[in-house]
């Protein structure tokens, strides 16, 4: 059934100029600064499969610099920011468990409708790096909220703001550092964040 799901998704996404990424259950469309990506997380089970859709953006300069900082090969998709389609589409389940053709058609219809109504425009909106940067920054510093992957978000937020030529003072850096401390990020990652800042200062910013 997984092949059938991928083929149905591909047929739909191709109509909107999103094309399959080799080696991944994901579809992308390029723009000037990177790629808009729609990821299909498909988990097979004995009696069916679970389908979850994520929307993501890859900003090339951000991910290239992070790749060079770690100096290692990443086999996973390099995503600057992502959210589940369900997070921006009211009434859509986070995941769909599919056991037969009828359930597959229903799930695909709901996913396609959500993408047309909001998903595609959400991706288009965040191709503006300033909008994306402000959005991630607000997530990081929102009260009573700990975003998933906070450390990675802080790295990418800090780097995006540098790319946008914002004035990044010592105090600005320590806003991020203290946010990480407040959420009890391990000491080795705090040291890594300091090293990341020094690296950026040495290579380009």
| Tens of pLDDT, residues 151-202 | 999 999 999 999 999 999 999 999 999 999 999 999 999 999 999 999 999 9
- State the DSSP string of 8-23: HHHHHHHTTT-EEPTT
- Identify the DSSP state of 144: T
| Tens of pLDDT, residues 98-124 | 999 999 999 999 999 999 999 999 999
Q: How many CA atoms lie within 13 A of 99 on its CB side?
A: 2
CB environment 49-88: b (16+ within 10 A), e (fewer): bebbbbbbbbbebbbebbeebeeeeeeebbbbbbbbbbee
Close Cβ partners of 165 (under 8 Å, ≥ 6 residues apart): none
User: What predicted TM-score, i.e. pTM, was given to this entire model?
Assistant: 0.92
Is the pLDDT at 75 greater than 70? The verdict is: no
Instruction: State the pLDDT at residue 123.
Output: 98
């Amino acid at each position: 059934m997984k092949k059938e799901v991928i083929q149905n998704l591909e047929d739909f996404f191709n109509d909107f100029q999103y094309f399959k990424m080799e080696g991944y259950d994901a579809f992308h469309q390029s723009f000037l600064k990177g790629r808009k990506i729609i990821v299909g997380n498909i988990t097979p089970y004995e009696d069916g499969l679970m389908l979850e859709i994520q929307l993501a953006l890859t900003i090339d300069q951000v991910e290239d610099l992070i790749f060079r900082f770690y100096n290692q090969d990443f086999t996973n998709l390099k995503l600057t920011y992502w959210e589940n389609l369900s997070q921006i589409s009211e009434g859509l389940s986070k995941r769909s468990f599919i056991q037969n053709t009828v359930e597959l058609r229903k799930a695909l219809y709901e996913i396609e409708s959500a993408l047309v109504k909001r998903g595609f425009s959400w991706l288009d909106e965040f191709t503006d790096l300033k909008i994306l940067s402000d959005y991630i920054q607000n997530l990081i510093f929102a009260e009573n909220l700990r975003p998933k992957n906070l450390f990675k978000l802080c790295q990418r937020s800090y780097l995006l703001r540098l790319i946008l030529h914002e004035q990044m003072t010592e105090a600005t850096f320590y806003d991020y550092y203290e946010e990480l401390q407040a959420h009890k990020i391990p000491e080795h990652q705090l040291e890594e964040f300091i090293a990341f800042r020094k690296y950026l200062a040495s290579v380009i910013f």
